[in-house]
Structure 1
């Protein structure tokens, strides 16, 4: 008994901190299981307890992560946001041409999109860090918020009004950059760092999947349907109006999915991620 006490006293402080964090996580998970059993009837629509934190267990491998609902919620939200963002930038020249923009003006649109894409990547990291550090707000909240704003951008583009493509491109580019900044942080926090590279790249597959569906099967298909039979080009706002309205609805759906992920992980963020970050900052 004395030997065990002596060995425990010799453990490095970092190991003792890890053990206390693990004990806190286990207790949190047990608490969530109890809460989930009490509220099973009200949370059936979310596939179980709203605050099921079993997917928040650190250091999952890729197969374990893919077996969690939180993984697919994040994947689906990213497919909606990144897919619609890529569909916009991939077709921005054709959109400009159909609305009567010159080649110089469409080049400006691409530049605007790129600049605000960079700004979003920088700003999302700073803002999400601030709210996580100060209030314990989980990063999935900001995925939902950016998808909501991106939906507004798509609606503006679909209107075909004067300067709508400029305003819409700025909003879509900004939110697209935000999502690329938030996705790796969320992945590492929810699923851990041991297999971060593999899990992150599996989540990132959502980008080409969403892009193919929205760019080829939605935007491209509707553009071809709206084009005159004997011509390869379409002129007028009708060429893309329906496509961007559909993408606005897709982003609204993605926003709802992201907010479900936020609700499911908010207690995990407050009691584990926020507590760990606060402990680190106080050292």
Structure 2
């Protein structure tokens, strides 16, 4: 039952990235309601604001069952997307502020589903939370690409159809996962050695799904698939999504042998714990000092917190520029709506790669080479700067480069920022600290996407709603690239300030490994 619960939360996460699809139907909204670019970016801001406001669902989690939280999220999502579709079909009935409220609603819906999925997954396997979070975050990174394949099947590439599809498809596909998590599942101690082959199977299915979707996107960008071929692609995708069920039907015949091995390791684990306690007593993780357990007020009183907050604001704000303006950027360079939708899928795949790759590489570099985790935030900022510069000069294939590189940067920013916050400030007040850092994203989207990019686009295009040519986003993407470079400077300062702390983690990890 525990594994069924984890697999079910994974299915929920694989449908929970609809906010990344804004670029797939934003052009239909813009034309139907005659919106300028600043107004369109305002809608994207409210979507980001909703998806970054997770305090309410977090407070509800311990008061109502997880299926009820998921149900609330699905109800918000269906209602919001139906009203968005209605606005496209009957634009005279709705104003910009109505649409802003609808976007806030669908963004907020994601926080309900994500809270239920992530917290349930971690509580099912508390001894393997790193794997659980990586697996679930990877699936939400791929979710937009998954939903794009359903979109090509159901809507035949018509942008105005997507909100209606999301309104009815998400409740339909979420019914089975909700039933699977309908009962509270006990979470006994699960040592990593006791779940290794099953966790490897789940990780392999995730990687294979990403590779399959990437292959499908490449094929769809080269040739136009007919109806039967699109059905086959969706069938293959669904089979891969269902493949983790194998861990439920295959008997674990070596369970007793694993349990005996775990019992043999317990004395050494306890010895390692005692050593860790001694290290803490010697001052490596003192309350209120970097690496210790901070309260929220203590954390926000540090320079390190604000360096991280500023970097996340400018870094994720720059990736929000891409997600909010991908459709208009593509149309300005002459790409078709179908190609733009495919690039939304590429962004999603890149996000999954960024989440998985940055977590694995930063952890390996820290444990083996004592590399501070913020160094990888610097590299991520460099990737995003490169993406924006390629978009600014409008090189051949710019839309594809911008989509994949910005997707990688977006996924890596979030994974590394969360890990860095837990490194520096501990876990005692991690939930509230994380919510404050997460709120940097909508602020960045407001400043960079709405006020900067949207205003420059409209200034470049005074005669109509649509702007054509590299001039539409050239100067604005360059300005955002400079802002992202400033984020990289902030991350560099953070890495330099905490170099000694990360060397301490490396030394502690090395001594524990030798003890075991």
Q: What is the TM-score with the length of structure 1 in the denominator?
A: 0.82
Deviates more, 1:197-206 or 1:59-68: 197-206
Q: Kindly state the Cα deviation for residue 15 of structure 1 after the two structures are TM-superposed.
A: 4.9
Distance 1:270 1:83, change over 3 A: same
Return the offset for 1:279.
3.7
Structure 1 residue 263 and structure 2 residue 496: aligned?
A: yes
Structure 2 counterparts to residues 51-66 of structure 1, below 5 A: 56-66=290-300
Structure 2 match to 1:18: 277
Shift, 1:173, TM fit: 1.1
Corresponding position of 1:50? none
The match for 2:420 is 186
SS at structure 2 position matched to 1:25: coil
- Residue 235 (1) aligns with residue 468 (2): yes
Deviations along 1:42-99, one digit per CA (max 9) or x if unpaired, are xxxxxxxxxxxx7514110111100000000000111111010011111100111111
Asked whether the 8 Å contact 1:55–1:65 carries over to 2, the reply is: no
In structure 1, what is the equivalent of residue 54 of structure 2?
none
Please report the RMSD computed on the Cα atoms of aligned residues, expressed in angstroms.
Answer: 1.7
Q: Decide whether the 8 Å contact of 1:84 with 1:214 is kept in 2.
A: yes
Query: What are the residue-to-residue correspondences of 1:24-35 with 2, within 5 Å?
Result: 24-25=283-284
1:169-180 equivalences under 5 Å are: 169-180=403-414
Counterpart position of 1:118? 352
For residues 147-226 of structure 1, the aligned pairs below 5 Å read 147-226=381-460
Change (3 A) 1:91 1:180: same
Match of 2:362 in 1: 128
CA-CA distance at 1:228 after TM superposition: 2.7
Instruction: Give secondary structure in 1 for the equivalent of 2:498.
Output: helix
Distance 1:254 1:121 in 2: 19
Which SS does the other structure have where 1:207 is aligned? helix
**Is residue 55–residue 68 contact of structure 1 (8 Å, CA) maintained in 2?**
no
Write out per-residue CA displacement over residues 115-160 of structure 1, whole angstroms, 9 at most, x where no aligned residue.
Answer: 0111000000010011011111110110011101210110000111
> In structure 2, what is the Cα distance between the partners aligned to 1:133 and 1:200?
24
Asked whether the equivalents of residues 355 and 415 of structure 2 are also in contact (C-alpha less than 8 Å), the reply is yes
Kept after mapping to 1: 8 A contact 2:291/2:501: no
**Matched residue, 1:275:** 507
Distance (Å, rounded) in 2 between the aligned partners of 1:83 and 1:19: 42
Taking a change above 3 Å as real, the CA distance of residues 160 and 208 of structure 1, as seen in their structure-2 partners, is same
Q: Aligned partners of 2:281, 2:378: CA distance in 1, in Å?
A: 29
Aligned match of 1:101: 335
| Distance in 2 (alpha carbons) for counterparts of 1:236 and 1:159 | 11
* TM-score of the aligned structures, taking structure 2 as reference length: 0.46
Shift of 1:280: 3.8
Q: In 1, distance between residues paired with 2:289 and 2:477?
A: 34
Q: Distance in 1 between matches of 2:329 and 2:279?
A: 56
Is 2:448–2:480's contact at 8 Å kept on the other side of the alignment? yes
CA distance 1:177–1:73, change in 2 (3 Å): same
Relative CO higher for 1 or 2, CA cutoff 8 Å, sep ≥ 6? Answer: 1
CA displacement, residues 153-197 of structure 1 (integer Å, 9 cap, x when unaligned) = 100001112201211221111111111111111111100111111
Judging changes above 3 Å, is the alpha-carbon distance between structure 1 residues 71 and 15 closer, same or farther for their aligned structure 2 residues? Answer: same
1 CA distance for matches of 2:423 and 2:354?
A: 20
Q: Which runs of 4+ in 1 moved over 2 A?
A: 12-17, 19-22, 275-283
The answer (yes or no) to whether the contact 1:59–1:191 under 8 Å persists in 2 is yes
SS at match of 2:284: helix
Aligned to 2:478: 245
- 2:307 aligns with one of 65, 73, 81: 73
Instruction: Give yes or no for contact 2:294–2:425 (8 Å, CA) kept in 1.
Output: yes
Q: Measure how far apart 1:216 and its partner are.
A: 0.1
